[in-house]
Amino acid sequence: MSIPLDSSGPQMKDYASSQMCTWCDACGDYGIWTAIKKALVELKIHPWQALLCFDVGCHGNMADKLNGYRFHGLHGRVIPFAAGAKIANRTLPVIAVGGDGASFSEGVGHLVHAIRSNYPIVFILHNNANYGLTTGQASALTPKGQKMNVSPNGIPERMLPSMDFVFSLQPTFVARGFSGDIPQLTGILKEAIAHRGFAFVDVLQSCPTYNHFATHDYLLEHCYDVGKEGHDAKNFEKARQLAVDTSQRIATGVLYRDEDVPDFCEELVPRKGKTTELIEEVQSADITRFYPEFI
Ligand SMILES: Cc1ncc(C[n+]2csc(CCOP(=O)(O)OP(=O)(O)O)c2C)c(N)n1
């Protein structure tokens, strides 16, 4: 993908917004918010050179907490918005941000097709294992038996095995980060932005108000960096195993990457050889002659 570079580069303050953050004290959203800005700054991408798309939820409230081109859509629908924008203008890095509720329930179909289509966008999953904004209901990623606000007897359903599910769809980039490790997450996001196709980044985040099972301290104790243990991110089976087995330790870092698969835009025959982008080809057309047919 082509990332517009500017040797002068932005600074963190260029991404600052005048809106106050409203997340709870110690929410993992602060760490993810910081890592997104740091990754863009370190890649020398100015706020006007990227598009950030947000789902609805606590994470989605980031939409006005940073400066730049941002789109705040409907619950569960961030991926189609982001993919559409990317298809219209392939020169633009596009980052979509969604919660685990939105992404593995309301919008799970979009995630399936984004991976299958290999849309060249980054998808950051704010994985707090619950529906945060609506006050702590269970999501598909809440463990079975866990007591939640409106489930005092514990969750009756099995947890959706999200990573196994993602790997079953033949992804081209899968990473996992932790909201408490901002330097590592910044590096992961930089690699995701540079990836050729769809980059799935699962970020385990603390939710001190509603998630009392995978707390910041628990994640801090269990997460380790696979990059420091010599993991080969080309090894699909090993990556899948590392992603799925979190019983003893939780593998973080870039787990899997395949840069040899063409992305969705590269596969579009009508776009082959075009030097323009779709947004440059928009023309006004006179459709008044069709009115009588529909009135
Ligand atoms: C289609 C639809 N269903 C439900 C809602 C209500 N709703 C808004 S935010 C939210 C919870 C979001 O949870 P998640 O996606 O996990 O994000 P988080 O708040 O945890 O960051 C829900 C259920 C909605 N706005 N639209």
Cα–ligand 1 centroid distance for 156 (angstroms): 20
Kindly report, residue by residue over 50-61, the tens digit of the pLDDT: 999 999 999 999
CA-closest residue to ligand 1 atom 4: 75
Distance (angstroms) between ligand 1 centre and the Cα of 148 equals 16
What pLDDT does 255 receive? 98
Q: How far is the CA of 101 from the centre of ligand 1 (A)?
A: 6
Ligand 1 centroid from CA 267, angstroms:
34
Report percent pLDDT > 90 for the chain.
96
Mutate to test the pocket of ligand 1, among 134, 141, 207 (most ligand atoms within 8 A of CB): 134
Q: Read off the pLDDT of residues 220-263 as tens digits, 9 standing for 90 and up.
A: 999 999 999 999 999 999 999 999 999 999 999 999 999 999 99
Report the nearest-CA residue for atom 11 of ligand 1.
131
- Please name the residue whose Cα sits nearest to atom 25 of ligand 1: 75
CA-proximal residue: ligand 1, atom 20 (nearest): 132
**Which of 53, 131, 202, 207 to mutate for ligand 1's pocket (most ligand atoms within 8 Å of CB)?**
131
Contact 172, 94 (CB under 8 A): no
Domains defined along the chain, listed by start: 24-294 (3.40.50.970)
Closest CA to 169 of 76, 41, 50, 256: 256
pLDDT in tens, 126-166: 999 999 999 999 999 999 999 998 899 999 999 999 999 99
Give me the pLDDT at residue 54, please.
98
pTM: 0.95
Res 149: pLDDT? 87
Strand 199-204 to strand 173-178: parallel, antiparallel, or no bridges (unpaired)? parallel
